[in-house]
Amino acid sequence: MRLIGPAQFLRLARINFVLMRHGLDDIIFATHLFRPFRFLMYLFPWNWVWKNPRPRGERIRLALEDLGPVFIKFGQMLSTRRDLLADDIADELEKLQDAVPPFDGKQAREIIEKAFGHPIEDVLDDFDEQCLASASIAQVHTGKLKDGSEIVVKVLRPDVLPIIKRDIELLYIIAELAAKYSSELRRLRPVEVVAEYEKTIMDELDLLREAANASQLRRNFKDSNDLYVPEVYWDLTSKNVLVMERIYGVPIRNVDELKQHGTDMEFLAAQGVKIFFTQVFKHNFFHADMHPGNIFVDVHNPAYPKYIAVDFGIIGTLNQMDKRYLAENFLAFFKRDYYKVAKLHVESGWVPAGTRVDEFESAIRSVCEPIFERPLKEISFGQLLLRLFQTARRFNMEVQPQLVLLQKTLLNIEGLGRQLYPDLDLWVTAKPFLEDWMEEQVGVRAMLRSLKEDLPYLLEKLPEMPNLLHDALKRSADGEQMTQQIKELQQLREDMQRSNTRSVVSTTGASLTLGAVLVYALDGYTPAMFLGVPALSWGLGALGLFMLIYALQD
């Protein structure tokens, strides 16, 4: 258990104050630690005359906004974990806005010049100290290169790391207390949730990582008309400063403006779904933060609008096995083959190997059948995954971070798609894509592709094949020789054990025989003779002779 220092104690007191101010003191006194003092709630004057009328989800959201950037981002991350939260709370947390007052532009200039190693005027033709956008981790400024290219410069907030580390340490303390004193919260594994958040936010503090993500995504869609990713200027980018091409487009949330440009909304909605599945199943590298604030639309050709993405701090990947099982799951869902869905979860290791497939199948059916009773165009892939994860948790399904990111992104894409075109039928768009992908993974096409990929390696190793074959045969022969030696040693050990046994038996038999002879050879009659000594001597002699004969046999 982590210890609470003076600074953390003051911060904890501030958190409690904020919770109480937003009418969340019932959360404090519901914990095991403070439950004995629950009666104090009725002593607070504000509970006599006023009770916060807002729903609990809204109160939690407002409290997190008051607590500052780290808690805002934590709430945003929690909103993606709908398998852990009640729907009303998750819906409110999705509304958290990561917008905070900007820091001084002159300070931003100093940070940039330190990263460049030169005055800004030596590198840029223009730089606007008035920021374009501001968030909890960084803020963005605009400028121009010497060749006239328009750019944006993303700058990490000064001294943001100590603040984040302090609040994360505090989150760990709260999570450990929650896990210790509440069985209900322990089931939600709060410490693991904080650890997941820590990794995410620490990754966002490295702008080189974000630049690498953007560069990879740009390369993946280099020859595509579906998605545009701005260029990274690597020679001006560092760990705390990111310089990228400036883009112009209509924010995707501005539906009315898109319609004014004559944008084909049905095409645009379907393209979003296509981009998502292309990233997941073809590129295995997907933008995992595709909320409306990070997506713009190029409407120069309204009949074929093009997506533009920004902010690449959070990227998701799936391994080949996850992709295979995910595609098969989607197709099995479409066919309502719940037994296959349950079996796939066990085979993939997402649920424990000992899970009864028939029980899991029944639970999945009870969740999915009500959903499938609606028209297909009203069914949400994301909600289906969410309900499935919630069901699987009852069967001890381990949290799969890559699948959580996938579910979050899918929900975002669906929400955007139906906002753009309410009649979007996601299944119609996705099913052919999934079927084509599955055909590429199995059968003759998959075998030929695998052979094509491995052929250069096989040709490279072909001259070595005779030596490799000789070495393999030699190792096999050496192995057989070693096996024979082991058998001989085992036989020798058994022979030695038998020899030792015979030695002990023969020695004992000889001793008994000699003892019998000595007893029988006693001179004269003594009282002992009348007590059975002759019979004893004959008995000992017979036993001794028997043992000698046994020991002398092979």
Active site residues: 289
Secondary element (H or E) of residue 309: strand 306-309
Taking every pair of Cα atoms in the chain, the longest distance, rounded to a whole number of angstroms, is 138
Amino acid at 533: V
Burial track 429-461 (b if 16+ CB lie within 10 A, e otherwise)? bbeebbeebbeebeeeeeeeeeeeeeeeeeeee
Q: Cα–chain-centroid distance for residue 438? A: 24
Token pair belonging to 431 = 């099913």
Q: In a 10 Å sphere around its CB, with 0-12 CB exposed, 13-18 middle and 19+ buried, how is residue 113 labelled?
A: middle
Measured CA to CA, the distance from residue 4 to residue 343 in angstroms comes to 46
The amino acid sitting at 402 is: Q
Per DSSP, the three-state class of 316 is: strand
Q: Kindly tell me the sign of the dihedral angle through the C-alpha atoms of 481, 483, 486, 492.
A: negative
Tokens of 74: 């934590």
Bridge partner list, 154: 140, 242
Count of Cβ atoms closer than 10 Å to residue 35 Cβ = 12
Query: How many Cα atoms occupy the beta-carbon half-sphere of 446 within 13 Å?
Result: 9
Q: In 3-state terms, what secondary structure has residue 143?
A: strand
Dig out the tokens for 88 from the structure: 């009303």
Q: Which among 133, 138, 311, 126 is positioned nearest to 232, based on CA atoms?
A: 311
Residue 506's H or E segment, with its range, is: helix 465-520
Of 401, 375, 400, 370, give the one whose Cα is nearest residue 387. 370
| Count of residues making up the chain | 554
Q: Are strands 138-145 and 124-127 parallel, antiparallel or unpaired?
A: antiparallel
